[in-house]
Amino acid sequence: MRISVIGCGYLGAVHAACMAELGHDVIGVDVDQAKIDALSEGRAPFFEPGLPELLKAEHGRLRFTTDISEVSHARVHFVAVGTPQLEGSNAADMRFVDASIDALLPHIGPGHLVVGKSTVPVGTAARLAEKVEATGAELAWNPEFLREGFAVSDTLTPDRLVYGVRRGDDRASDVLDEVYRRPLSTGTPRIITDYATAELVKVSANAFLATKISFINAMAEIAEVTGADVTTLADAIGHDARIGRRFLNAGVGFGGGCLPKDIRAFQARAEELGVGHALAFLDDVDQVNLRRRQRVLDLITDALGTELAGRTVAVLGVTFKPDSDDVRDSPALDIAARLALRGVRVKATDPEGIETARAKVPSLDYHPSARDAVAGAEVVTVLTEWREFRELDPREVSTWTDARTIIDGRNCLDAGAWRAAGWTYHGLGRP
What amino acid positions are annotated as catalytic residues? 258
The C-alpha atoms of residue 3 and residue 185 are separated, in whole angstroms, by 20
Task: Residue 180: count other Cβ atoms within 10 Å of its Cβ.
Answer: 18
Question: Which of ligand UGA, ligand NAI, none does residue 253 bind (CB under 5 to 8 Å by kind)?
Answer: ligand UGA
Contact between 366 and 357 under an 8 Å Cβ cutoff? The reply is: yes
Eight-class DSSP state of 92: B
Q: 113: which strand partners?
A: 76, 138
| 119 in contact with ligand NAI (CB under 6 A) | yes
Half-sphere exposure at residue 394, Cβ-oriented, CA atoms within 13 angstroms = 22
| Burial state string for 213-227 with b = 16 or more CB within 10 A and e = fewer than 16 | bbbbbbbbbebbeee
Residues that bind ligand UGA (CB under 6 A): 119, 144-148, 206, 209, 213, 247-249, 251, 253-256, 258-259, 320-321
The C-alpha atoms of residue 371 and residue 387 are separated, in whole angstroms, by 15
In 109-242, alpha helices (H): 124-133, 151-156, 170-179, 181-185, 195-226, 230-238
| 124 in contact with ligand NAI (CB under 6 A) | no
Which residue of 36, 51, 132, 146 would you call a contact of ligand NAI, by CB under 6 A? 146
| 10 in contact with ligand NAI (CB under 6 A) | yes
86-to-33, 94, 147, 265 alpha-carbon distances in Å = 24, 8, 23, 9
| 214 in contact with ligand NAI (CB under 6 A) | no
| 381 in contact with ligand NAI (CB under 6 A) | no
Of 287 and 424, CB closest to ligand UGA: 287
Tell whether 174 is in a known binding site. Answer: no
Question: Which of ligand NAI, ligand UGA, none does residue 249 bind (CB under 5 to 8 Å by kind)?
Answer: ligand UGA
Question: Which of ligand NAI, ligand UGA, none does residue 320 bind (CB under 5 to 8 Å by kind)?
Answer: ligand UGA
Tell whether 83 is in a known binding site. Answer: yes
Question: Which of ligand NAI, ligand UGA, none does residue 401 bind (CB under 5 to 8 Å by kind)?
Answer: none
Q: 274-277: long-range contacts (C-beta < 8 A, 24 or more apart)?
A: none
| 8 in contact with ligand NAI (CB under 6 A) | yes
The C-alpha atoms of residue 99 and residue 182 are separated, in whole angstroms, by 32
Question: Which of ligand NAI, ligand UGA, none does residue 248 bind (CB under 5 to 8 Å by kind)?
Answer: ligand UGA
Tell whether 255 is in a known binding site. Answer: yes
| 96 in contact with ligand NAI (CB under 6 A) | yes
| 319 in contact with ligand NAI (CB under 6 A) | no
Q: 413: which strand partners?
A: none
| Burial state string for 162-172 with b = 16 or more CB within 10 A and e = fewer than 16 | bbbbbeebeeb
Q: How far is the CB of 233 from ligand NAI (least distance, A)?
A: 29
Binding mask 238-257 for ligand NAI (x = CB under 6 A): -------------------x
Which residue of 3, 29, 357, 364 would you call a contact of ligand NAI, by CB under 6 A? 29
Would you list which residues are annotated within the binding site for NAD(+)? 30, 35, 83, 119, 148, 261, 328
Contacts with ligand NAI, residue ranges (CB under 6 A): 6-12, 29-32, 35, 80-83, 96, 99-100, 103, 118-119, 144, 146, 148, 257-258
